[in-house]
RNA sequence: CGGGGCGUGGCGCAGUUCGGCAGCGCGCGCGGUUUGGGACCGCGAGGUCGCCGGUUCAAAUCCGGCCGCCCCGACCA
């Protein structure tokens, strides 16, 4: 039999990163811009972001978070106030030094994150414990001058949301930190169909300026880990240097305890790498710009008839994002490949033979199964299959993760697993950062997180052999 | 930032060894025939050969410098 599908993207097994880039470009999610490390987020990709954004934004608002917007530029004097913070970001900060020909009295940095400028405003707004908590999020872009960039995963400028909250005490702030981590977990698993491991970062891996950093970690199709979102308990460090204090009910002046949490367009990269296959993108119905594409097979003699029925079919799919591809210049086969590459969950084929039989042919993107559906039942079947596919994609990704999750008793074993098949690797850890760094040095794997649901540690540290204090999740990471 | 590879019409590439008319496939435009897994025929448009400099009668090709992209490693959402 002849080759059934056209070669247009790199082989996913042989060259995963080339496959990833091919999908990004060929599916028209993004394109390279004439700016170092920057990309253009094209309409099809941006629509995915809008759908994800709308859902996550709704989840934030359900917890009382409001949206606002703060400036792109941050005065150097303000950013420098938190020592650990500036030290962490200094190497990748872009500076604004001139307005026209004139040199500015003070340099501004293009925000790499907004803790300091938002905190500065909180200092003005917060006087009393009655003003707390303050729960604000902003959708914006930030800039970090990374050395090596990859579309969506690591770009010089990227879109994200950053939430910043101020609280009366540590307990309230910590509760918010965990609440937002759970919002991310639910969003990623339920909406993007990406299974994640929630956990706490080690001191080596935490956010510059945070007391504790939590993240949700996902496993990509090539066995590498990706941090999909983070939530930080910042303590009162930022409050102290920025002067965010309030008068408590007991008459004492106190500093607020803060949190911040963020998720970026990196999750678009995760979608590609978790769900994609040899034929390209596979989108969960929840974030698919088109959930259904109708491809009419319309020879000249029956053209009007087929297109008329195709339009009726589209109109009958209320509440579903449907696209009728009636371009005459492309053949049906071309369209099949095109929409599969772009990840549309369901394709409906409608041709003369179907009209005679009073049916359409339904094909699911994830399993490729094709079957005839009577026209009267198409709407109902589409709804059912979209819902089923959402769940199936999650379960498939979860199964892949289970199959690629291992245990390592020592560094040798960890190294062997990484060479052989990568994936998530659990191992005992004594809690010493030196052991963590030694493992990284030798194997390239880092502790992605200390999973929250991990059972009590048993056995010994994989590196030094002392009793394990944690059950750590190791992986090579993006 | 280190190691490797690559920059030639929109995309994928040949040509570079050994200097001598810039080519091929796809795509694009027009006309015609076509439509159940990337249709076919004909005509046509489109290139400062990544950039700057040098050698030469002559440079995509040789020399020097620079820039960009990709892959593999050290830092990050």
Dihedral angle sign, alpha carbons of residues A392, A398, A402, A403: positive
On strand B, nucleotides with any atom < 7 Å from a protein CB are: 1, 28, 34-39, 68-77
Identify the residue whose Cα has the smallest distance to the C1' of B34.
A299
Provide φ and ψ at A362, rounded to 5°. Answer: -105, 130
Q: What is the pLDDT of residues A354-405, one digit of tens each?
A: 999 999 999 999 999 999 999 999 999 999 999 999 999 999 999 999 999 9
In the block, residue with structure tokens 């007391």:
A211
Nearest to A321 by CA among A295, A283, A343, A288: A288
Q: How far is the CA of A272 from the C1' of B11 (A)?
A: 22
Nucleotide with C1' nearest the A149 CA:
B76
The CATH number of A16-275 is 3.30.930.10
Q: Please tell me the distance from the alpha carbon of residue A273 to that of residue A224, in angstroms, as a whole number.
A: 10
Three-state SS at A89: helix
Q: How far is the CA of A38 from the C1' of B60 (A)?
A: 30
In the block, residue with structure tokens 């399993």:
A367
User: Which H or E run contains A296?
Assistant: strand A292-296
Contacts of A250 by beta carbon, 8 Å cutoff, 6+ apart: none
ipTM of the complex: 0.89
Contact indicator for A360, A378 with CB cutoff of 8 Å: yes
In sequence order, the β-bridge partners of residue A370 are A363
Domain ranges of chain A: 16-275, 290-388, 405-475
Contact indicator for A402, A425 with CB cutoff of 8 Å: no
Three-point CA angle A207, A144, A114, nearest 5°: 60
Nucleotide with C1' nearest the A2 CA:
B37
> Which CATH number is A405-475's, of 3.40.50.720, 3.30.1330.200, 3.30.110.30, 3.20.20.70?
3.30.110.30
Strand A253-255 and strand A245-247: the pairing is antiparallel
Contact indicator for A292, A322 with CB cutoff of 8 Å: yes
The CATH number of A290-388 is 3.40.50.800
Q: Note down pLDDT in tens along chain A; length 478 residues.
A: 234 566 678 888 878 888 898 899 899 999 888 787 888 899 999 999 999 999 999 999 999 999 999 999 999 999 999 988 988 888 888 889 888 888 999 999 999 999 999 999 999 999 999 999 999 999 999 999 888 888 999 988 999 999 999 999 999 999 999 999 999 999 999 999 999 999 999 999 999 999 999 999 999 999 999 999 999 999 999 999 999 999 999 999 999 999 999 999 999 999 999 999 989 999 999 999 999 999 999 999 999 999 999 999 999 998 999 999 999 999 999 999 999 999 999 999 999 999 999 999 999 999 999 999 999 999 999 999 999 999 999 999 999 999 999 999 999 899 888 887 789 999 999 999 999 999 988 888 999 999 999 888 889 999 999 999 999 999 999 8
Q: What is the pLDDT of residues A281-336, one digit of tens each?
A: 999 999 999 999 999 999 999 999 999 999 999 999 989 999 999 999 999 999 99
Q: What is the pLDDT of residues A65-91, one digit of tens each?
A: 999 999 999 999 999 999 889 888 888
């Amino acid at each position: 039999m002849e080759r059934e599908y056209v070669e247009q993207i790199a082989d996913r097994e042989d060259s995963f990163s080339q496959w990833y880039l091919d999908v990004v470009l060929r599916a028209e999610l993004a394109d390279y811009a004439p700016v170092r490390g920057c990309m253009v987020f094209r309409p099809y990709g941006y629509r995915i972001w809008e759908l994800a954004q709308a859902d996550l934004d709704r989840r934030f608002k359900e917890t009382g978070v409001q949206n606002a917007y703060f400036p792109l530029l941050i005065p150097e004097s303000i950013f420098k106030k938190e020592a650990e913070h500036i030290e962490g970001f200094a190497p990748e900060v872009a500076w604004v030094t001139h307005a026209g020909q004139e040199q500015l009295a003070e340099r501004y940095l293009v925000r790499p994150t907004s803790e300091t400028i938002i905190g500065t405003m909180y200092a003005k707004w917060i006087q009393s414990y009655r003003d707390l908590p303050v729960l604000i999020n902003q959708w914006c872009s930030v800039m970090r001058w990374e050395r090596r960039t990859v579309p969506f995963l690591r770009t010089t400028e990227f879109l994200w949301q950053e939430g910043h909250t101020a609280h009366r005490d540590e307990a309230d702030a910590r509760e918010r930190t965990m609440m937002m981590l759970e919002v991310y977990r639910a969003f990623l698993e339920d909406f993007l169909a990406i299974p994640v491991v929630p956990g706490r970062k080690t001191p080596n891996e935490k956010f510059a300026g945070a007391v504790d950093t939590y993240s949700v970690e996902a496993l990509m199709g090539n066995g590498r880990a990706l941090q999909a979102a983070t939530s930080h308990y910042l303590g009162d460090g930022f409050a102290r240097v920025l002067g965010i204090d309030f008068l408590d009910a007991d008459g004492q002046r106190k500093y607020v305890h803060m949190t911040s949490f963020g998720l970026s367009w990196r999750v678009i990269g995760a979608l590609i790498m978790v769900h994609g296959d040899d034929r390209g993108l596979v989108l969960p119905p929840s974030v698919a710009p088109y959930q259904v594409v109708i491809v009419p097979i319309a020879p000249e003699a029956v053209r009007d008839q087929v297109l008329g029925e195709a339009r009726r079919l589209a109109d009958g799919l209320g509440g579903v994002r449907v696209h009728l591809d009636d371009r005459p210049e492309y053949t049906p086969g071309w369209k099949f490949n095109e929409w599969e590459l772009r990840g549309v969950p369901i394709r409906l084929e409608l041709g003369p033979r179907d009209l005679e039989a009073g049916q359409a042919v339904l094909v699911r993107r994830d399993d490729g199964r094709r079957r005839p559906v009577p026209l009267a039942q198409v709407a109902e079947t589409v709804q059912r299959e979209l819902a089923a596919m959402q769940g199936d994609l999650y379960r498939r990704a979860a199964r892949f993760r289970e199959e690629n999750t291992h245990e390592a008793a020592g560094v040798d074993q960890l190294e062997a697993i990484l060479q052989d098949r990568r994936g998530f690797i659990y191992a005992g850890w004594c809690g010493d950062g030196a052991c963590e760094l030694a493992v990284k040095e030798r194997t390239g794997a880092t502790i992605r997180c200390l999973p929250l649901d991990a059972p009590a540690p048993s056995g010994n540290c994989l590196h030094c052999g002392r009793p394990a204090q944690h059950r750590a999740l190791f992986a090579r990471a993006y």
